[in-house]
Amino acid sequence: MVISMRMIIKRTYSDDDMNLLFKMIRKKAGRYEKIKHLLHIKKCSDPNLAERYLILTCIMNNGQIDEEVIIEDRKVFNALTGKRMEIIELVNEKGPISVKELAKFAGRDYKNVYDDIMALEKFLIIRAVKVGKERVALGKVRECTLKF
């Protein structure tokens, strides 16, 4: 059976999200010039380098990041429970936000919130990055459309 359902999620990144990405990339890969130099000599031997370069180039030029996620799988609805929708709302309202802080705001157990974040990330509904030892959710879901 051909799947005709399509869920489209539109996410935007606030200044706080951009600052977090900037700091995270600087910490992991170093200064912009260093990344550019490494890209030039290493070419594509590190798959993350080019992505970090594009993100930093955009941020350093005061640009904006727009994201669209396309999901064509009915199983996505299994991932969207009430508690997980609350997590999406909390990330929208308070993000960027760590799993620890999310658990505190939601009044839930850390492990359960962490598992929910991972489940949502597997379906690309949430965007989370590792900052130090913490996992931080960022970006704001602005629109979620269902098309048939």
Partner 1 sequence: MMILKIKRVFISRGEMIESMELYDQGKLKNYIYAYKVLKGTKWITLVRWDNVESMDHMDIYDENGTLINQVEMEKKRFEDVVKIVRTFRRSIIAVDISNL
| Beta-sheet pairing, 97-98 with 127-131 | unpaired
Residue (of 134, 88, 84, 132) closest to 112 by Cα position: 84
CB of 103 to partner 1, least distance (A): 17
Q: Which of 15, 28, 77, 118 binds partner 1 (CB under 8 A)?
A: 118
Question: Could you give the 3-state DSSP secondary structure of residue 134?
Answer: strand
Is 55 near partner 1 (CB under 8 A)? yes
CB of 82 to partner 1, least distance (A): 20
CA distance 53 to 62: 14
- Token pair, residue 109, equals 């157990």
- Work out whether 120 is an interface residue with partner 1 (CB under 8 A): no
- Least Å distance, CB 72 to partner 1, is 7
Q: How far apart are CA 56 and CA 70, in angstroms?
A: 24
Q: How far is the CB of 51 from partner 1 (least distance, A)?
A: 6
75 counts as binding partner 1 under rule CB under 8 A: yes
| Site size for partner 1 (CB under 8 A) | 38
CB of 134 to partner 1, least distance (A): 12
Measured from the CB atom, is 107 or 113 closer to partner 1? Answer: 113
Q: Which of 79, 32, 81, 24 is nearest to 57 (CA)?
A: 32
CA 54 to chain CA centroid, nearest Å:
16
Provide the binding-site residues for partner 1, judged by CB under 8 A.
Answer: 36, 39-40, 43-48, 50-51, 53-55, 57-58, 61-73, 75-76, 118, 121-124, 130, 135
